[in-house]
Amino acid sequence: MTPYEDILDYRNLEEIVIVANTPMFLYSNFQKNQSLLNFSFSFSDQQLIDFFYSEYNGKRTFRNLVNLYSCIVAISLKDSSYVYGFFKNLKSINNLKWASELADIYFSKISYSIIPEENVLPNLTTYNSLGADTQIVNFNIP
Amino acid sequence: MSIIIDPNEPVPLRRKDIILQTRQGNPIINSQVLELFEDEDYSKQIDKIREKYIGIMPRPSTISCLYNCHGMTFASKRTGIELNEELIKILKEDNYVEIINLASILTGDLVLYFSEKGEIEHSGIVIKPPENTDFLGTATVLSKWGSGFEVIHPLYACPYELLSVKFYRCTN
């Protein structure tokens, strides 16, 4: 018995996994599920990542697949550089359907503040505003 | 073609794409997934889905991960199409136009279900047009529900976003 089996609403989550035509549908609908939110808020990012790898190394059943997706979406709701690293690794997992696509969805949503510093090389450009003595700074994160 | 993954031997997911193009000859990103779970939890959930949606008629022997709804609608069940950009490309390059006059909907037209963010969440084929345009729910649709079955269902009896449903026709 895992510590989250009582938290997750499998009736709803399992249906979402079956009827999902796209990874975005799965992600959006998991995110709207209250039990998934409770799951995410009940554990730390590190605990959720541990749960993921425990499930990943476990017996691959339909319930296991639902747990894996639950962990991924729950982790994506956390905000830390550990989570960023987790999704970087998730991109290279090749025996879980939509692992890479869910990582892409995460990367499209995150704020740049949680990307580890060494990866961020902002481009700064300045120019003068027309009609004012103001210098405008453009701040672009590649 | 169903494959039960052996978790004790992590193997690459059996997934591949096929050559698929728009009418204009541009490639369409697609993906066949050769994976199917046949355990008790999966079977129970399939039964729950059958019971939950009133008036649906699942087509037998159609449970498959090989293609999704968009693969059924746009690629003759050969593969799955998962990216919204690819669907937009197909609509444009295959000359699909939205049917504005709902009284003119015919069997064979397409129905697209849009998410609240405007992405195409689900698609199907009209097999019976609505009896009147005041209530489109009388239309009947054939669509594929994810990795589940193909279903003949009333327009609004499905697990997808119903706020924005539009009809399209391929023109020559």
Distance, C-alpha B171 to centroid of its chain? 20
Distance CA(A67)–CA(A71), nearest Å, equals: 6
Residues on chain B touching A11 (C-beta within 8 angstroms): 45, 48
| Token pair 């949606």 in the structure block, residue | B53
In sequence order, the 6+-apart residues with CB closer than 8 A to the CB of B21 are B27, B28
Distance, C-alpha B45 to centroid of its chain? 19
Asked if A15's CB is within 8 angstroms of B49's CB, the reply is yes
pLDDT tens digit sequence for A49-95: 999 999 999 888 899 999 999 999 999 999 888 899 999 999 988 78
**Bridge partners of residue B128, in order along the sequence:** B140
Please tell me the distance in Å from B58's CA to the nearest CA on chain A: 13
Please tell me the distance in Å from B42's CA to the nearest CA on chain A: 6
pLDDT tens digit sequence for B44-80: 999 999 999 999 999 999 999 899 999 999 999 999 9
Q: Is B150 on the interface with A (CB under 8 A)?
A: no
List, for chain B, all residue ranges whose pLDDT scores fall below the cut of 50: 1-11
Distance CA(B62)–CA(B43), nearest Å, equals: 14
The pTM assigned to this predicted structure is 0.84
Q: Is B48 on the interface with A (CB under 8 A)?
A: yes
pLDDT over 90 (residue A118): no
Asked if B10's CB is within 8 angstroms of A18's CB, the reply is no
Distance CA(B68)–CA(B49), nearest Å, equals: 17
User: Which of B56, B59, B84, B81 lies closest to B68 in space, CA to CA?
Assistant: B81
Distance, C-alpha A136 to centroid of its chain? 34
Residues on chain A touching B83 (C-beta within 8 angstroms): 22
